[in-house]
Chain A
Amino acid sequence: MYSYRGRYLVIDLTTRTAEVAELGHSLLKDYLGGVGLGTRLLYERCPEGTDPLDPGNPLIFASSSLTGTMSPASAAHAVVTKSPLTGLLGDSLSFGNWSLSLKSAGYDALVITGRSDTPVYLWIDDDYVHFRQADGLWGKGASETSKSIRSQAGDGRVQVAAIGPGGENLVRYACISNDGYRQAGRTGCGAVMGSKRLKAIAIRGTQPVSVFDGDEMRRTCAGLYSRSQAARKQNFRGLGTPYNVMLLNRIAALPTWNFQEGAFPGAEDVSGEKLADTCLARVVACPTCPLGCEHLYSASHRDRDNSNIETALDYGSLSALGPMCGINDISTILKAALLCHSHGIDTISTGNAIAWAMESFQKGILDRNDTDGVDLAFGNGEALLQMIDLIGRRAGLGSLLAEGVMRAATVTGRDSDQWAMHTKGLELPGYDPRTMKTQALALAVGLRGGYYNRSSSYELDMVHILDRMESQTGWGKLNMEQEDLAAIFDSLITCKAMRDSFTNFLPEAAGLYTVATGIEMSAGDLRLAGERINNLKKVFNIKHGWKKADDWLPPRLLQDPVTFRESQSVVLSPEVLRALIEDYYTARGWTSEGLVPVTKMRELGMADILEEGNS
């Protein structure tokens, strides 16, 4: 077998045992790797009714066919588990040297089940798996944990993925960090890891990766590297993703004050341009990425210790910790991002949860008794930082916010669900769907809850492929195609930032897959794999309690207008959204109730799933 390892490692933390299981060609071809393979393994191993924080919920790390090769922006892994936020499929990607180590240790995936009595960390040295005591690491941040394990090992080849205090404290949107500063951020995989009392996974992988046709791979990749330099230079290499701040602000799609508005008066102060002018330290790349979009910023912050902040910041984090909470001070946002990283909690969910609390405070639903005296007004940077710390430690109001906005609003009541900005329990990202109709559909039907990255449908709205203020029949199909493409990117794995570097993605990516693995793959096969993966995600969700009502948007987006160009106000009506969703179900070949018919599953070659008695 080329590139793939043909096997995965199953680790049971309860019994402290590890065993190797085989992976066949056909399953790998059908589900590719990454998110696809992870979803498939999760489907097999997560029984109906499993609570996400139960020992029985498998935590899966999946590598892929292109990972470990020179294929551009491929050094990644997917984390797949039943999400503690949504109770449905949770998947998240991260990039870095840890991903390369997983592959070079000789596994296509790690499946971790059970729960340890006491804190442990795993030390995987190629074929050897050690369970090591982690009492001394418990309570430390991910970056500190990584440093400590690596220095103890005394070998720079050791790479570490770890949770911070947020994961230990079961914050429902805790993340898993690798390489000290990269995160598998969304859907709360860090809380699942914390529930297993697993602090970290250290890997030393030393086995080379062989590909089927190295010369052809080199030719194809050289072309992609050079095209990547022309494409998207401005967005990614130039200002980085914070480039989006001014762009979205202009089109009234920059969520402000918890989605009360779509444009922020302080946008210029927190823009990519401002960041580049005042505090950009360096631009770096993940391994194998020819683009390099990771912008590292450095600033001093006027607080108790007048600390110097050094951190990466992407648009998603910036929007949630900035305009969403009404913050217009860059150094506060950088400090907030750094604080989220050291607690190991997702910046987007954190900012969104605090914005919900700020609005509740504004409306008098929460008062100073609830906030331990903190003036939780929009724009109060000091309050933002205090809240992040409380969430990470699950102290005071932080304990409520650590549950995510959906649960926090349910507990709080008094109509506070009206401004709980989530779908399926996953806090919404920084793209206001009222002025982006395809994005509205994508967020409503999103298979892992409200997020843009599993469809990238906002692209259609932003590049004027269609009129983002309108909605028409046929957009359901467009969203489906975008979702299937995203599933292919997430499973191959290739970072979506490489999108524009391909001239014709499907045939080129299928070609890359074949030169890596030696397995025949046509453009049609690959497209079908994307569709199959998304259908499997849906079947998983149905099995775990998805209801049609879950495919919907928060009330605010369907009632309150957003001001656009000062005079116009834009609202997304329930009728429009309903029509878009119906159009999408039809395009997918699903029933009007959003269920996957048996015929569809047969058509996609998912008969083996049916045999297990699901329909």
Chain B
Amino acid sequence: MERRRIVCDAKLCTGCRLCEFACSLTKERQFALELSRIRIVQAGLGQTTATLCRFCRNLSCVNACPRQALTYSADTATIELDKGRCAGCGWCIEACPFGAMVLDGRTKTVAVCDVCYGLSEPACVELCPQKALTVQALNKA
């Protein structure tokens, strides 16, 4: 599978957070914005953009995990989590320079964007009213 990621055009983003609603409904079957894999961040008044996993080559999250709960799968081109191994220690959260890892406080496990693997289009990209989100293919090399 080709590596892909979702990118946000900050010029189009209005900060409406509908991407967070779409993500949490798709992944959690409820509206729990804290568990959304995509997040709206604000720099100044009205200066918003979305951040999420950039599928970087460093794999700092995978490397930081002390229990080998996170792995990078070349088949799906996503970071996969073995929930049984995850203890919610938060090392991956600290390691990720993009703030992409999400902690579920109730189950003490983490979650991260998988570009809605298995769906024809990621939920956030499909529902963004401003069309600010797009799927970007990353070169293999």
- Give me the interface of A with B, judged by CB distance under 8 Å: 68-70, 75, 100, 104, 157, 181, 206, 208-211, 214, 217-218, 221-222, 225-226, 228-229, 281-292, 294, 296, 310
**What A residues does B21 contact at CB under 8 A?**
69-70, 288
- Asked, given contacts A70-B22, A100-B33, whether A290 binds B46 with beta carbons under 8 Å apart, the answer is no
Beta-carbon contact of B127 and A284 below 8 Å: no
The yes or no answer to B16 lying at the interface (CB within 8 A) is yes
For B15, the closest partner residue in chain A by CB is: A284
The yes or no answer to B109 lying at the interface (CB within 8 A) is no
- In the complex, A282→B22 CA distance in Å? 24
What is the total of A-B residue contacts with beta carbons within 8 Å?
A: 79
- Asked, given contacts A157-B34, A211-B31, A296-B45, whether A286 binds B129 with beta carbons under 8 Å apart, the answer is no
Beta-carbon contact of B45 and A181 below 8 Å: yes
The yes or no answer to B63 lying at the interface (CB within 8 A) is no
- Asked, given contacts A284-B14, A284-B46, whether A292 binds B130 with beta carbons under 8 Å apart, the answer is yes
**What B residues does A285 contact at CB under 8 A?**
14-16
The yes or no answer to B116 lying at the interface (CB within 8 A) is no
For B33, the closest partner residue in chain A by CB is: A100
- In the complex, A287→B31 CA distance in Å? 13
Q: How many residues of B contact A (CB 8 A)?
A: 26
The yes or no answer to B3 lying at the interface (CB within 8 A) is no
- Give me the interface of B with A, judged by CB distance under 8 Å: 14-18, 21-22, 24-25, 28-35, 45-48, 105, 126-127, 129-130
Beta-carbon contact of A209 and B30 below 8 Å: yes
**What A residues does B126 contact at CB under 8 A?**
222
Closest-CB distance, A368 to chain B (whole angstroms): 39
6 further contact pairs, Cβ within 8 A, besides A206-B105, A211-B31: A70-B21, A214-B29, A218-B22, A225-B18, A284-B15, A285-B16
Beta-carbon contact of B129 and A228 below 8 Å: yes
- In the complex, A307→B50 CA distance in Å? 31
Closest-CB distance, B131 to chain A (whole angstroms): 9
- In the complex, A218→B26 CA distance in Å? 10
Beta-carbon contact of B31 and A70 below 8 Å: yes
For B20, the closest partner residue in chain A by CB is: A287
Beta-carbon contact of A208 and B127 below 8 Å: no
Return 25 A-B CB contacts under 8 Å, by A number. Answer: A69-B31, A70-B21, A70-B25, A70-B31, A104-B33, A208-B24, A208-B28, A209-B30, A210-B29, A210-B30, A211-B31, A214-B29, A218-B22, A218-B127, A222-B127, A228-B129, A229-B129, A282-B46, A284-B15, A284-B48, A286-B16, A287-B17, A288-B17, A288-B18, A294-B46
Beta-carbon contact of A70 and B18 below 8 Å: yes
| A218 CB contact (under 8 Å) in B25, B32, B34, B46 | B25
Closest-CB distance, B45 to chain A (whole angstroms): 6
Greatest chain A CB density within 10 A among B15, B45, B47, B127 is at B45
- In the complex, A294→B15 CA distance in Å? 11
Beta-carbon contact of B16 and A288 below 8 Å: yes
- In the complex, A290→B17 CA distance in Å? 9
- In the complex, A68→B25 CA distance in Å? 12
| A211 CB contact (under 8 Å) in B30, B35, B105 | B30
- In the complex, A431→B29 CA distance in Å? 45
Beta-carbon contact of B30 and A289 below 8 Å: no
**What B residues does A290 contact at CB under 8 A?**
16, 18, 129-130
Beta-carbon contact of A225 and B31 below 8 Å: no
Beta-carbon contact of A310 and B16 below 8 Å: no
Closest-CB distance, A200 to chain B (whole angstroms): 19
Closest-CB distance, B46 to chain A (whole angstroms): 4
Beta-carbon contact of B18 and A292 below 8 Å: no
Beta-carbon contact of B30 and A214 below 8 Å: yes
- In the complex, A214→B25 CA distance in Å? 7
**What A residues does B47 contact at CB under 8 A?**
282
Closest-CB distance, B78 to chain A (whole angstroms): 23
- In the complex, A221→B15 CA distance in Å? 18
- In the complex, A210→B28 CA distance in Å? 10
| B34 CB contact (under 8 Å) in A206, A281, A282 | A206
| 7 nearest A-B pairs in the assembled complex, by CB-CB distance | A290-B129, A208-B32, A285-B14, A285-B16, A292-B14, A70-B21, A282-B46
